[in-house]
Amino acid sequence: MKKRDYFYALTLVVCSTVGSYFITGTSAQQAVPAHSYGYQIGAILYQQKAAEYRALAYQAFNIARWQLDADSKLLSKVTRRKPRAVIVDIDETVLDNSPANAHSAKNNLPFNIKDWYAWGDMRKAKAVPGAVDFLNYAVSKGVKVFFISNRDEIQKQATIDNLRAVGFKDVSTENVVLRQTEPTKEPRRQSVAAKYDIVLLMGDKLDDF
């Protein structure tokens, strides 16, 4: 498991700058003073404009591919007792919601669920660099992908449509697993683990792990 732990850490480093927006945005539901968006605007611009952000995202998914290939060599198909799976978070892990964040910052709006749902309904999020190639590669190797997200269940169809639109090949009501009543993702991860050998967890926040 040490190799896997190492990979989790790298993924977090890549996404920590962007994740800071959501950590702040979701924990501060109260009105946000105008000056509070200063550093968040920097984070949004970094996500949208910096070549280094794109390079780091590609790096994370390249390392994921190496790790998946290394796992492929560990056991033969005959020896494995369960099929393999990769679990990924959605927002800021495989979908880029920076346009919604930029809209909020530009208009000095605090995070609110109405705007978040409206953005999701637009199905306009683009893929994080490297995400489509990696997850479709995993699918090509017979690995099941589960998208475990704390988006709300009401957002499910729009989320599926958006994931398909950017090019993810295996997206269905079964493997897009959104939040219903439970506060954490762990019960959903455990239900996947009951049937699959989880090779990788990928995300931009600690509760993705």
Total residues binding Mg ion (CB under 5 A): 4
Q: Is 71 in the site for Mg ion (CB under 5 A)?
A: no
Which H or E run contains 71?
Answer: helix 51-72
133, two tokens: 């190639």
Write the DSSP assignment of 83-145 as a string of letters.
-EEEEE--BTTTEE-HHHHHHHHHTTPPP-HHHHHHHHHHT-PEEPTTHHHHHHHHHHTT-EE
Chosen residue from 71, 96, 170, 204 binding Mg ion by CB under 5 A:
204
**Alpha-carbon 142 to chain mean position:** 20
Stretch that binds Mg ion, among 41-49, 63-71, 167-175, 196-204 (CB under 5 A): 196-204
Q: Is the distance from CB of 40 to CB of 110 less than 8 angstroms?
A: no
Site string for Mg ion, 121-160 (x = CB under 5 A): ----------------------------------------
Q: Determine how β-strand 95-96 pairs with β-strand 126-127.
A: antiparallel
Minimum distance of Mg ion from residue 166's CB (angstroms): 16
CB of 25 to Mg ion, least distance (A): 12
Out of 60, 88, 89, 188, the only residue in the binding site for Mg ion (CB under 5 A) is 89
Please select the residue that binds Mg ion; options are 71, 91, 96, 170, rule is CB under 5 A. Answer: 91
Q: Which stretches of the chain bind Mg ion, using CB under 5 A?
A: 89, 91-92, 204
